[in-house]
Amino acid sequence: MTESFTNSIRILDIKYGTSVDGIGLRTSLYCAGCENHCIGCHNPQSWDEKGGEEIKVEDLFHLILEADMNITFTGGDPMLHPEGFIALAKMIKEHTSKTIWCYTGYCFEQIIQHPMRKALLELCDVLVDGPFILEEQDFSLPFRGSKNQRIIDVQSSLKDSTINLYNVSM
C-alpha cells in the first residue's frame, strides 16, 4: 500500500445534499480515476487518476462531518485505489453513525477476490456494482444507469455469502 493512496484521495468534486447517489440527501465524494472505460460513461473526464485535487483523508473526514448527511463514494471508481477510502470509511464508522454507499464498475464477485477492495467493501452499507452498459441503459431506474447494475445490501450479502439486493423503497 503506498503512503500517498493511504493518506489522501484525489477528489474531483464534493456535492452536499445530492439525492441521486443513494437514499436521502447525501454528501457525495467524486474521486478521480477509473479503468473501466464504459461506452456511454456519463463522466469520462473522471477516468484520469491524476485528475482533481489530492485531499488528505483527515481533511475529507472533517468536511463530511460539517454536513449532517450520509455519505456516498463515487467517481471515477473508488475501488480503483481503495486505500484512502478504507482509511476514510474507518473514521466514518468509528466516529459517526453515517451510512456509506459506494459506486463501482467492478462486480461484487470481483471485489471479494481482491483483498484491498474487499476491505473497503466490508466498511460499506450499500454497493452499486458493475459497469454501465449502454444497451441496458434505463432512465427509470433509481440510483443507477443500466439494468445490469445491482444495488446490494453489503453487510447481509457478506454474512450470507450470497447477493442480497438492497430495498430502495425502504
Residues binding ligand SF4 (CB under 6 A): 34, 36-38, 41, 43, 46, 75-77, 105, 131-132
3-state secondary structure of 67: coil
Residue pointed to by grid coordinates 473514521 = 91
Q: Residue 123 has which C-alpha cell?
A: 466498511
| 23 vs 38 by CB, closer to ligand SF4 | 38
To the nearest whole angstrom, how small is the minimum distance from the Cβ of residue 155 to ligand SF4?
23
Q: Max alpha carbon distance in the chain (Å)?
A: 42
- What single-letter amino acid sits at 134? L
| 76 vs 84 by CB, closer to ligand SF4 | 76
Q: Rounded distance, CA 37 to CA 2, Å?
A: 24
| 36 vs 96 by CB, closer to ligand SF4 | 36
Q: What residues contact 24, with CB distance under 8 A and at least 6 apart? A: 69, 70
To the nearest whole angstrom, how small is the minimum distance from the Cβ of residue 103 to ligand SF4?
7
To the nearest whole angstrom, how small is the minimum distance from the Cβ of residue 156 to ligand SF4?
24
Three-state SS across 99-166? CEEEECCCCHHHHCCCHHHHHHHCCCCEEEECCCCHHHECCCCCCCCECCCEEEEHHHHHHHCCCCEC
| 134 vs 165 by CB, closer to ligand SF4 | 134
To the nearest whole angstrom, how small is the minimum distance from the Cβ of residue 127 to ligand SF4?
13
| 40 vs 62 by CB, closer to ligand SF4 | 40
To the nearest whole angstrom, how small is the minimum distance from the Cβ of residue 146 to ligand SF4?
9
